Amino acid sequence: MKEKIEKVLSIWHAHFEDEEKQYSEFESSDIEYFVACMLYNHFAFSKALDTMKTIDLSYDFLSACGDEYDTIKAIIAEIRFDSEEESLAFLQEFIQESLAKYSAPELYLLNRMNYHVNAMAQRYALGVDAKPVDFQNPLLR
């Protein structure tokens, strides 16, 4: 599975080496974040928060990622594990390796993903389901 991820990363890092293909505020770490989003969505974790089951993928990234997107989506679709826990461990390892590649200013999105994935891992470890998120304004209750 790691070989598939390495292939995905090499395709998009090569694509975005061309500054003409980069969007404003592009960071190289956006590639790892976007791949983590794709993995997260692909695995469709049962203990994910309802609001996180399909993480919003960046429009800027989608607009700039080129024809390689379909190839990469197919590679991601080939990544399968026997259990959600194995999928989760794979995603956590990918995120940790990605965090180690970059400096603090580039880690905002990856840190955000890491937080959500680790919170989900805690739900698996404790055997609890995700609670619905209530977005109501408390002042209007």
Q: How far apart are CA 66 and CA 103, in angstroms?
A: 26
CB 76 within 8 A of CB 11: no
**Phi then psi dihedrals of residue 24, to 5 deg:** -65, 145
Highest mean pLDDT among 31-45, 46-60, 78-92, 118-132: 78-92
CB 109 within 8 A of CB 61: no
Q: How far apart are CA 121 and CA 118, in angstroms?
A: 5
Handedness of CA 81, 115, 55, 2 (dihedral sign): negative
CB 121 within 8 A of CB 87: no
List, for residues 120-141, the tens digit of each pLDDT value: 999 999 999 988 777 776 676 5
For 102-111, what is the mean pLDDT? 93
**The pair of three-digit structure tokens given for residue 119, joined into one six-digit string:** 């919170």
List, for residues 68-92, the tens digit of each pLDDT value: 999 999 999 999 999 999 999 999 9
**CA-closest candidate to residue 1, choices 33, 35, 45:** 35
